Amino acid sequence: MINILIIYLLVLLLFKFIDNNYLRFLLLILIAIYCIWFFKIKKKKLILILLLTLSTVITEIIFIKYFKNSWKYYNNDIVNVPYWLYPLWFICIIFILEIYKIFI
C-alpha cells in the first residue's frame, strides 16, 4: 500500500511542477512501465487494463464532446483530451486493481 501512495505522490508532484504536456506524457509512460514491472502485471491483466484505459478515455471524449457543462481540457492534444490522460488513467486503473487485491 505504501508503494501505491509513493507513486501517487510522485504523479501529483509531476503535475504540480511540470506544465509541458509532452513531458508529462513521457514521465507518466515511465511511471506506467514501472507499475507494470513493480506489480508484476501479466499479459492478460495488462490487456484488461489497456481496454479499461481506452474505455475511460473514450468516455471522457464523449462527455466533453456531447454533454453541455461537462469538463474540458485547456491543452487538448488528441480528440479533445491531452496526451497525458491515457497513461494517467492506466496508472489509476492499476491502483484501483491493486487496492482491490489488498482488501479482498
Q: How many domains is the chain built from?
A: 1
- What pLDDT is attached to residue 40? 97
Which set of grid coordinates corresponds to residue 8? 501517487
SS (H, E, C) the chain: CHHHHHHHHHHHHHHHHCCCHHHHHHHHHHHHHHHHHHCCCCHHHHHHHHHHHHHHHHHHHHHHHHCCCCCCCCCCCECCECCCHHHHHHHHHHHHHHHHHHHC
| Domain coverage including residue 25 | 2-103
Residue range 17-63, pLDDT digits in tens: 999 999 999 999 999 999 999 999 999 999 999 999 999 999 999 98
